[in-house]
């Protein structure tokens, strides 16, 4: 048995019979051709909660960064699926390449970005993603999909739905700006207030990056210090009619418009107002600075974390009639 405790950011005890580190596309293709057994694909382990112990795990560690096309104002950058996401964001800022500065300090590997359509502070990876390269599990064939073919939505893609377990991402291509950076987004969430505190009036991508790192560091726990998987739940999207009914009882409930008929409600606000923020049950609790994050205070297993999350879901349904969906992948 091989321990997986150090390969998941919750730090829960888990193990597998066989762990294979995948460092190249060719190796990945060979593995797909040689094995059709049920295999768990693992990247940074930041979005995975192990409840059961899998038989075989492939740890995707395909590295590499390559500029494949360049113009005066933009580049196309290919990145290996095993590259650390935050390290990539930092690297791009150092090169003065813009587009992903709002996504700083998101844990995990680059290959997981399109699967989740990761996002923060008004930006999602779909805004810069050009294409993804994948290996088909049943044949070992390598394919490339344009961003428009991925079914990207709020924390969703075809990889989580109809393509689940069909493909393994080996690299992604992003289009990043080189000069001007006209699409800087500085007015979402706490960014503008933080920039004001920093005395920044005309922010650069470096300023946005610094502000986001400052915000996330202040309210999100470091997995190296306390086990967690970041945001455990998605922000629910509900009909405007339901939101207006809830405002009668909860007039301070915030929302963000999605379209003419739906709004997004912050899950953290719902969980906080329901009394879960800072609460602890056994070895598991909700982080004191951000109710959306479930933490392992030490010694928790995956089942304990999952059961705690179910209690929160039941509480939110009872109070608001809103179904919280997990952002975390449960194995």
Asked if 150 and 169 touch (Cβ cutoff 8 Å), the reply is no
Which residues are CB-contacts of 94 (< 8 A; sequence separation ≥ 6)?
Answer: none
Would you put residue 240 in left (φ > 0), alpha (ψ -120 to 50) or beta?
alpha
Q: How many CA atoms lie within 13 A of 132 on its CB side?
A: 27
Asked if 189 and 220 touch (Cβ cutoff 8 Å), the reply is no
Q: What are the C-alpha distances in Å from 107 to residues 162, 263, 265?
A: 25, 27, 23
Asked if 234 and 154 touch (Cβ cutoff 8 Å), the reply is yes
Is 216 annotated as catalytic? no
Given the residues 133, 231, 255, 309, the one annotated as active site = 231
**Strand (E) or helix (H) holding 192:** helix 191-197
Is 142 annotated as catalytic? no
What letter would DSSP give residue 126?
A: G
Given the residues 155, 175, 216, 326, the one annotated as active site = 155
Closest CA to 116 of 186, 51, 44: 44
Asked if 64 and 86 touch (Cβ cutoff 8 Å), the reply is no
Is 231 annotated as catalytic? yes
Closest CA to 124 of 107, 99, 97: 99
Residues pairing with 58 in the sheet: 20, 41
Catalytic annotation, residues: 155, 231, 327
């Amino acid at each position: 048995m091989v321990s997986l405790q150090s390969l998941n950011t919750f730090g829960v005890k888990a193990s597998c019979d066989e762990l294979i580190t995948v460092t190249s596309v060719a190796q990945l293709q060979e593995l797909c051709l040689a094995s059709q057994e049920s295999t768990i694909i693992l990247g940074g382990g930041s979005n995975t909660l192990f409840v059961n112990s899998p038989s075989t795990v492939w740890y995707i560690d395909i590295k590499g960064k390559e500029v494949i096309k360049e113009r005066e104002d933009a580049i196309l950058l290919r990145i290996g699926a095993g590259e650390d996401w935050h390290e990539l964001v930092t690297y791009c800022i150092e090169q003065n390449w813009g587009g992903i500065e709002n996504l700083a300090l998101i844990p995990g590997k680059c290959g997981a970005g399109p699967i989740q359509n990761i996002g923060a502070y008004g930006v999602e990876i779909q805004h810069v993603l050009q294409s993804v390269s994948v290996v088909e599990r049943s044949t070992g064939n390598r394919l490339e999909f344009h961003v428009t073919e991925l079914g990207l939505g709020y924390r969703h893609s075809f990889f989580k739905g109809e393509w689940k377990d069909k493909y393994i991402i080996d690299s992604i291509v992003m289009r990043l700006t080189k000069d001007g950076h006209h699409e800087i987004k500085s007015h979402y969430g706490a960014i503008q207030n933080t920039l004001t505190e920093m005395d920044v009036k005309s922010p650069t991508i470096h300023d946005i990056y610094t502000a986001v790192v400052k915000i996330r560091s202040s309210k999100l726990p470091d997995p190296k210090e306390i086990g967690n998987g970041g945001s455990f739940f998605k922000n629910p999207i509900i009909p405007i009619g339901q939101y207006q009914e809830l405002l009668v009882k909860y007039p301070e409930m915030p929302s963000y418009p999605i379209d003419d008929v739906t709004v997004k409600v912050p899950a953290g606000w719902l969980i906080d107002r329901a009394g879960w923020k800072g609460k602890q049950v056994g070895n598991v609790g909700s982080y004191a600075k951000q109710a959306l994050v479930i933490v392992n205070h030490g010694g928790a297993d995956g089942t304990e974390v999952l059961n705690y999350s179910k209690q929160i879901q039941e509480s939110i349904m009872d109070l608001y009639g809103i179904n919280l969906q997990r952002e975390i992948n449960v194995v």
